[in-house]
Structures are given as C-alpha cells and as structure tokens.
A = this chain, B = another copy of it.
Amino acid sequence: MDYPKRKLIMLPGPTNVPDRVTDAMIRPMINHRGEMFTTLLRGITEKSKSLFQTVRDPIVLSASGTGGVEAAVWNMVRPGDKVVVPVFGEFSTRLAETVELAGGQCVRVIAEIGKVPTREEVEDAIAKTPGLKAVFVVHNETSTGCTVPYIEGLAETVRRTEAFYVVDAISSLGGYSIPVDRWGVDVCITGSQKCLAAPPGLSLLSLSAKAEEFIRTNPPKVRYFDLARQLDFLARGETPFTPAVSLYYALDSALEMLVEEGLERRVERHARHARTLYSVLDAMGLRGFADPAVRSNTVIAGLYPDGIDEKKFRKSMDEEYDVVIGAGFGAMKAKMFRIGCMGEIGPTHVRRTVSAMVLTLKRFGYSVDLGKVSGALEAAS
C-alpha cells in the first residue's frame, strides 16, 4: 500500500494518535515473561486505576472493544440468567445479542434511535424481572451519539437488588468520568482507541470485588477472555497469554498523558469541544441527530441537509481537506454524519473540521451563514 497521508481523524474511533504515543511502539521487543514487561504492566495498571477511579487493578485485554464487551458478557452471564439491556442503537443491540449468545435471557428496554430509554423505563424493567442477574448498559451509543445520563442514578437502583451492574464505556471513559468504585459499577469496559487516543487493539476492564468473587466461584466457558485468569496473572505482573507488547507501550504513553492532564481536565475538555461543535452545527443550520437532552460529548452525530450525498461529502472532506469524519450507521446511514470528539480533541481539531465543512457544504450547494459560524467559534474560545 502507499504510505498513508496524515489526516485529521475525526472519527468516533480510532482517533488521532499523538506522536508521543505512536512513537512508543517502536521501542524494542521485550520478553513478556520478564521484569521489563512487569514494570510496563504495573505502570499501566496504576495509571488505569485513575481512569476508572478504582483502587482495584483494571485488566487489559489484547482485543479491541467488542472483545472486551464480550469478555464481560461471558464472565458475568450464565445460561438462563435474566439480564436487562437498554437498546437504543447498533452497539446496544449487539450487546443484547451477545448476552443471548452466552445463554442469557435478555429483557430489552428499547428506545427509538436518537433517544435513550428513560431511567423510569429501565427501572421498571428491573422491578419486573425477579431474580435479575445483571443490568448491562451501553453508556455512550457510538452509532447514534446518545449518552445515557443516569449511569450514576441507575447504579443506586441496581445496588438495591442482587444484580450486577455492567457499563460499556468503550467510547466514553476518559471523555466522561465514571468513578466505578464510588458508583458501584461491577464491570466497566473501555477501548484504547477512543478517549485515550491510543491505537486500537486493546480493551480495558474494571472488575468489582463482587464480580471477581462471582467469576471465581463460577468459572466462565471462555479462556482467552477468562477474567479470573487475567487477574491471577496480573497479580504477579504478567498476562496469561502473549500480550500485544507494542500496543501496551502505546497505551502506557497514552495513560501517561491522561495522568499528566488529569482526568477532570480531560473530561472538561471533551465537554467544552462538544459544546462548540454542537453550537457550530446549529449555526450552520444542521440538525443534531441525538435528542439534545442525551447528546454525547464524544460522538457528535448530525444530519446532512437534504440532497447531500454523504459518501461524496465525506470523500470531499477527506481528499480536499484531509479531514476524515465518520458515516452514519444502519437505517440512518444516508443522512447522518458522526464526528469524533475524543482523545486529543482540541481547538484546532474543531476549527479545521468546521472550516472544511463550511466550504464543502458550499461546494455541495448548501450555503452557511459565515458570521454565525464564526460567532459560534469565537464564543466558544
């Protein structure tokens, strides 16, 4: 293949990877059963604790986000288990299907796409499901740009039952704060290539003591994703199976940058740039896709004006401005764009994207009010 040109990656993952993180991957190969790897792994573990806000050791799996979510399912769900899953887009649909593959009985709480089931609807499903085993919630629906606003509140509700509380925070953790210990999240899963701005290929999971005890007394059927085995090896500074060493190097650097910035500041930065992007889209006269009450700070989903061919639009942004934005998903594919607001997102990312959109929209016959757009950008800075 040709050497790829460096573009501004405004996708809902993978995101732009800072050179400091990319360059970490060229470090020499090491023995994954040696001291150097243990030092690397321990450093990752410590820094991951601040990401999940936990005193327990998070687990890193050499698999991308979907693998991490599947690990959570196979470790926590046993055949016949009743599991409540809010379903409001592609990834929550997949999650429910994976629960069923593992033998679980899914109670779906469905909202139309662009919305999120209400807290009351989810709590109602919980109340009506005697012997509930777990509640699995996708925090941020990458496919629709909708975020569940009641992760903390729902935790309280679940805590009053015997059920486990599992949060898929693949495209949100780091862009949002989810203090898993304080809120009582039993399993929280995220990916390397979203708000951490590392390359794709790793997933990270936190496990509560209650979740660990369950897995230890009810070993899962899976091996590569067996989280008890992962914890056993982690305790001695190793992974059970050969880890993707180069990606661990990158993750370590990415977590260093998180710690240097501070989680709180990173969360605020994601929120700030999301606000700007939404207000600029509004100034352009473009409608956001998500219900404003639940719109995401990390995935900005919007709708094209009528008559714009989404494929051609993205191609034009890509080829003429080196700005890569995401397509829509499923039924909304022809109408929707998604802009990632993740990882190293900063003012120039926003400005480069917006300026390219303004001229590309113009080229496609849709004129924006430049004064309004400029005003929205200025107001934000």
| Chain A interface (Cβ < 8 Å from any Cβ of B) | 1-7, 9, 11, 13-17, 22-23, 25-34, 36, 39-40, 43, 62-67, 70, 94, 97-98, 101-103, 191, 193, 199-202, 221-224, 240-247, 250, 252, 318, 324, 326-327
Contact = CB atoms under 8 A, between A and B. Distances in A.
B3 A31 contact: no
Nearest to A202: B244
A202 B199 CA distance: 14
B39 A1 contact: yes
A241 B62 contact: no
A37 to B, nearest CB: 9
B23 A242 contact: no
Contacts of A326: 31, 33
Given A62-B200, A101-B222, 10 more contacts: A4-B28, A5-B28, A11-B31, A13-B242, A31-B326, A62-B67, A64-B243, A66-B240, A67-B241, A202-B244
Contacts of A102: 221
Nearest to A239: B64
Contacts of A3: 27
A66 B327 contact: no
A76 to B, nearest CB: 15
Contacts of A1: 36, 39-40, 43, 252
A14 B29 contact: yes
A351 to B, nearest CB: 20
A207 to B, nearest CB: 19
Number of copies of chain A assembled together: 2
A243 B192 CA distance: 11
B199 A36 contact: no
Contacts of A6: 28
Nearest to A40: B1
Nearest to A7: B28
Nearest to A66: B241
- Which 5 pairs, one residue from A and one from B, show the smallest C-beta to C-beta distance? A201-B244, A6-B28, A66-B241, A67-B224, A199-B246
Contacts of A11: 31
Contact of A223 (B98, B223, B250): B98
B30 A4 contact: yes
Contacts of A200: 32, 62, 242-246
Contacts of A244: 64, 199-202, 244, 247
Contacts of A246: 22, 25, 199-201, 246-247, 250
Nearest to A226: B101
Nearest to A33: B327
Contacts of A26: 22-23, 25-26
A199 B9 CA distance: 25
A241 B13 CA distance: 11
Nearest to A9: B29
Contacts of A28: 4-7
A126 B268 CA distance: 63
Nearest to A3: B27
B70 A242 contact: no
A32 B14 contact: yes
